[in-house]
Amino acid sequence: MEEVSEISLARHPSDLVPAALVLLILTIFLTIGVASIPWLDYSESSTTYYLGGFCDYNGCHGYADREEPFRTVFPLTYILVLTALAVSVFELGFLVTSTFRRWKWSGVGILITGILGSIALLVAALYLYFGLLMTFWSPTSVPPTAPWGMGAGLFMAFVVAVLFLVATIVAFFAARHLKALGSERVSPS
């Protein structure tokens, strides 16, 4: 009977690069999804609130003509989500750069962009929740449950923020592995 070594059971570090690429691309697509699906529903008038505007039976409109807190909360939340999207593209750029060039700062760039992007998504969801929904009732009253419903975008923002962190960790270790490969000396034989 052959003995299986621990090394053969361990995943090879070069497997991290494709995994990191897949996770970062998935993060980008999910962030686009978070930006484009509804974050809030108002069931009494069948109004759906997206980050870029709201839609009701008269069509879709922007938040410029809406009262507070809609006029300020939704656009700022949208900016935070788009910031997370832009930062995720930069993180993917750092990973791709580290595969072709052995740049010593690519791991740091991946960490910074990944942490900033996940924080931006988390802050966007918390800002919408506390900036908008907490203004509809006083602290002494029971939170309203009937007409207001959380949209899928609000919940997905938390999930994508966690995935963003996981993708950042995998991409960081992949970049470190690639940097280590580039620094190995080869004997001239």
In this predicted model, which residue has the larger pLDDT, 20 or 180? 20
Model pLDDT, residue 185: 46
Q: Is residue 5 part of a domain?
A: no
Most confident listed range (6-10, 72-76, 118-122, 135-139): 118-122
In a domain, 60, yes or no: yes
Burial class from Cβ neighbours inside 10 Å (0-12, 13-18, 19+) for residue 60 reads exposed
Q: Burial letters for 13-34: b for 16+ Cβ neighbours within 10 Å, e otherwise?
A: eeebbeebbebbeebbebbeeb
Mean pLDDT to the nearest integer, 11-33? 85
* 1 in a structural domain: no
- pTM for the structure as a whole: 0.79
Structural domain count of the chain:
1
Is residue 147 a part of any domain in this protein?
yes
Confidence of residue 103 (pLDDT cuts 50, 70, 90): low
Please check whether residue 97 lies inside any domain of the structure: yes
Is it the case that residue 81 has pLDDT exceeding 60?
Answer: yes
Output the domain CATH number for residue 34: 1.20.140.150
Which domain covers residue 142, as residue numbers? Answer: 14-182
The pLDDT, as a whole number, for residue 180 is 52
End-to-end, the C-alpha distance of the chain in Å comes to 38
Residue 49 lies in a domain: yes
pLDDT tens, position by position, 61-78: 998 888 888 888 899 999
d(CA 96, CA 82): 21
Q: In this structure, is residue 8 part of a structural domain?
A: no
For position 140, what pLDDT does the model report?
Answer: 55
Flag whether 93 is in a domain.
Answer: yes
pLDDT at 120 over 60: yes
Q: What residues contact 86, with CB distance under 8 A and at least 6 apart?
A: none
Radius of gyration from C-alpha coordinates of the chain: 22
pLDDT > 60? residue 7 = no
